[in-house]
Amino acid sequence: MMLHGWACDSHDWSWQLPLFESKYRVVDVDLRGHGRSDAPPTGYTPRDFAADVESLITTQYPGQQFVLVGHSMGGQVAAILGAKRPDLVKAIVSVDGTLGVPLAAQPVYEQLDAALKAGNPGDIIPPLFGGLYSTESDPGIIRWQTRRIQGMQAYVLRQSIGPLFLGPDQVAMGPNSEALCRSLKMPVYAMHRSQDRVNTVAPWFTAPKSKSELWQGPGHWIMLDRKDAFNAAVTAWIDAL
């Protein structure tokens, strides 16, 4: 099951689907307020997203387990669901997931939260995302992602960013993040773009076959910048479980 990141949608996995669908049954999810899913007026915390995924599995795929492949926010959603319902989650692939974020970044997210509440997310988020790309990032994909953000409901973006990083219930950083990750009983394959993040999260994932790996060079959307390498690495890990 593929879980996209904040201000994204299921199309981010389009370059994975041909191979993954040839090997596995794949469910590619649009989280609430994103893509083709409904956008209710409230309910945009990571736990709300995880509850939606839980409901999807229990109602549409009863008695089945999934490998959750989550990018960014989707990695956090996967961890929350894995901790709550290990019976539903066989393993997790966290692609530059919002786990183990340095506490020093908290003021940045406080400023972003305030800016989104006061301004137009379609103007504010694209420059922010600009810092998450690399020289490997496709300019066409960058433009597509910018246009997608500008077509989203502003209240979805405003409500969802704060709970992802801020407040007593956040699990992106600090002891809360560590406690969540250490509680996971299933294998986790964590990919990050900095050695510091790898070093932070690696001791937290203790289930057999877990691994934390540095992907140096690509932008935040590792699966888009390194499509073939990503597909080969993830399918090999899943096949070895």
Residue 179 has what pLDDT?
A: 98
Residue 111 has what pLDDT?
A: 97
pLDDT tens-digit map of 65-115: 999 999 999 999 999 999 999 999 999 999 999 999 999 999 999 999 999
Residue 44 has what pLDDT?
A: 98
What is the band of 53 on the pLDDT scale with cuts at 50, 70, 90?
very high
Residue 93 has what pLDDT?
A: 99
- How far from the centroid of its chain's Cα atoms is residue 79's Cα? 10
Q: pTM higher than 0.85 for the full model?
A: yes
pLDDT tens-digit map of 171-227: 999 999 999 999 999 999 999 999 999 999 999 999 999 999 999 999 999 999 999
One of 3.40.50.1820, 3.40.50.720, 2.40.370.10, 3.50.50.60 is the CATH number of 2-239, namely 3.40.50.1820
Residue 187 has what pLDDT?
A: 98
